[in-house]
C-alpha cells in the first residue's frame, strides 16, 4: 500500500531552486533513506512532507489523500499523523520528559489514564523510565535522542521522519541507537523516512535509498543495489 507520494514537486527558496521535479513513492512499512550532501534538498523533502512548507508546483499525498499542491497546504501538519525527530532534537526545555510526551496526547484529547499508560509504555520501550520527571537540559545527548524518538512515536504515527537525527552523536552511540531504531521499527511497523549525509547510516537503515544532488534525485534503489556495503563510491559521490 502506498503511504507517501511526491508527484513532480518543485520548491524555490529565496530565488534558489532547492527541489526540482521530485517524484517518489513510498510503500507502507518501508525504511527510506534520503542521502545527499548539505544543501541538496533532502531536508526540504521532510519539511514538505511534514506540512511546514508548501510545494511551488507538483503535489504531495499521504495515504492516498492530497495534503499539499501547487503552493497550498491542504492538510495542516497536525492532521497528517506523522512523527518527526529533528537534528537538534527540539525537546521543549520548559517541560519535563513526561510533559514532552504528553503534549501531543493532550492535543489529541487522549484521556488522562490512557496518556499515563502510553507514556509509561513508551518510556519503557526506549529505556528511559527513570527520567520521567527530568527536564531535557539535564539529559545526555543519547538520552535526549531517545526521548525525541519516544515523543515522535507516542502518537503511533503512520510515518516517522528523521532529519539527520543521529548525526550529532558519537559513532558508538550512533551505532547503538541505529540498532534500537531498527528494533522499534520491527516492533511498531511504521514507515520511516530518514535523511542523512552518512552513507554508513544509509546502508544500515534503508531498505530503499534515494540519492540526491542539487535538488534532484540522482539514483534510487535498494540499499544493496544502489550502494553495496563497503563500496563508498556513492557516499563519496553524494558528498561531492
Partner 1 sequence: MMARRSVLIIAVLLLAVIGLAPMVVMFARSITVDGGLSLEFYRNLMASDRPWRLLGNSLTLASLVALLSTLLGVSLGIVLGKTDIPLRRLFTLLFTLPLLIPSYITALSWADVLGGSGLASHFVSAAWIKTASALLFGLPGCVLVLASTFMPVVMLATMIYLRTINPRLEEAARLVSRPSGVLRAITIPLIRPGIVLAATLVFLLALGDFGVPTFLRVDVFPTESFTQFSAFYNFGAATAAAVPLAILTIAVLGGEQLFLRHRTDELRPASGGDDLPRLRLGRGKPLVVIAVAVLCLVIVVIPLIALLVQSGSAGAYIRALHTVGDSLVRSLVLAAVGATALTILGFFVGYLIHTRALAVWRAVDAWTVLLFALPSTVIGIGLIALWNRPATNLIYATPLMILLGYLAQYTALTSRATVAGLALVPASMEEAAAVTGAGWVRRVILIVVPLVRRTLMGGWLIAYIFCLRDTGITMLVYPPGYDTLPVRILTLMANGAPDLIAAASVLMIVATVVPLAILALILGKQRRSR
Question: Helices marked H in the chain — which ranges?
Answer: 42-50, 97-107, 112-125, 141-153, 171-188, 199-205, 223-226, 233-239
Task: Please pick, from the candidates 39, 71, 76, 121, the single residue that binds partner 1 as defined by CB under 8 A.
Answer: 76
Q: What strand order describes the sheet that includes 191-196?
A: 82-85, 159-163, 191-196, 31-35, 208-213, 216-222
133 versus 229: smaller Cβ distance to partner 1: 133
163 versus 198: smaller Cβ distance to partner 1: 163
Residue 104: Cβ-neighbour burial (10 angstroms; 0-12, 13-18, 19+): middle
Q: Does 82 bind partner 1 (CB under 8 A)?
A: yes
| Three-class SS state of 231 | coil
Question: What angle do the packed helices 112-125 and 141-153 form, to 10 degrees?
Answer: 140
Q: Does 16 bind partner 1 (CB under 8 A)?
A: no
Task: Please pick, from the candidates 16, 94, 109, 240, the single residue that binds partner 1 as defined by CB under 8 A.
Answer: 94
Q: Does 56 bind partner 1 (CB under 8 A)?
A: no
Unique residue bearing C-alpha cell 510503500: 27
| Beta carbon of residue 47, minimum distance to partner 1 (angstroms, whole number) | 8
Task: Please pick, from the candidates 36, 55, 58, 83, the single residue that binds partner 1 as defined by CB under 8 A.
Answer: 83
Task: Please pick, from the candidates 11, 42, 80, 197, the single residue that binds partner 1 as defined by CB under 8 A.
Answer: 80
Q: Does 39 bind partner 1 (CB under 8 A)?
A: no
Residues that bind partner 1 (CB under 8 A): 50-52, 76-78, 80, 82-84, 86-88, 90, 92-94, 103-104, 107-108, 151, 155
Amino acid at each position: 500500500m502506498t503511504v507517501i507520494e511526491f508527484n513532480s514537486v518543485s520548491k524555490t527558496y529565496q530565488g534558489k531552486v532547492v527541489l526540482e521535479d521530485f517524484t517518489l513513492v513510498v510503500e507502507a512499512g518501508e525504511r527510506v533513506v534520503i542521502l545527499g550532501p548539505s544543501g541538496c534538498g533532502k531536508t526540504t523533502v521532510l519539511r514538505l512532507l511534514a506540512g511546514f512548507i508548501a510545494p511551488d508546483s507538483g503535489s504531495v499525498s499521504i495515504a492516498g489523500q492530497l495534503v499539499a499542491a501547487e503552493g497550498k497546504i491542504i492538510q495542516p501538519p497536525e492532521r497528517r499523523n506523522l512523527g518527526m525527530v529533528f537534528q537538534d532534537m527540539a525537546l521543549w526545555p520548559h517541560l519535563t520528559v513526561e510533559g514532552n510526551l504528553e503534549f501531543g496526547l493532550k492535543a489529541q484529547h487522549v484521556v488522562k489514564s490512557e496518556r499515563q499508560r502510553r507514556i509509561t509504555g513508551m518510556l519503557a520501550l526506549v529505556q528511559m523510565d527513570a527520567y520521567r520527571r527530568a527536564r531535557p537540559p539535564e539529559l545526555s545527548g543519547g538520552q535526549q535522542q531517545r526521548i525525541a524518538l519516544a515523543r515522535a512515536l507516542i502518537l503511533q504515527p503512520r510515518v516517522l521522519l528523521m532529519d539527520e537525527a543521529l548525526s550529532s552523536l558519537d559513532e558508538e552511540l550512533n551505532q547503538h541507537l541505529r540498532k534500537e531504531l531498527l528494533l522499534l521499527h520491527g516492533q511498531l511497523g511504521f514507515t520511516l523516512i530518514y535523511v542523512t549525509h552518512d552513507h554508513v547510516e544509509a546502508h544500515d537503515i534503508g531498505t530503499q535509498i534515494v540519492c540526491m544532488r542539487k535538488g534532484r534525485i540522482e539514483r534510487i534503489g535498494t540499499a544493496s543495489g544502489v550502494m553495496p556495503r563497503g563500496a563508498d563510491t556513492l557516499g563519496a559521490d553524494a558528498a561531492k
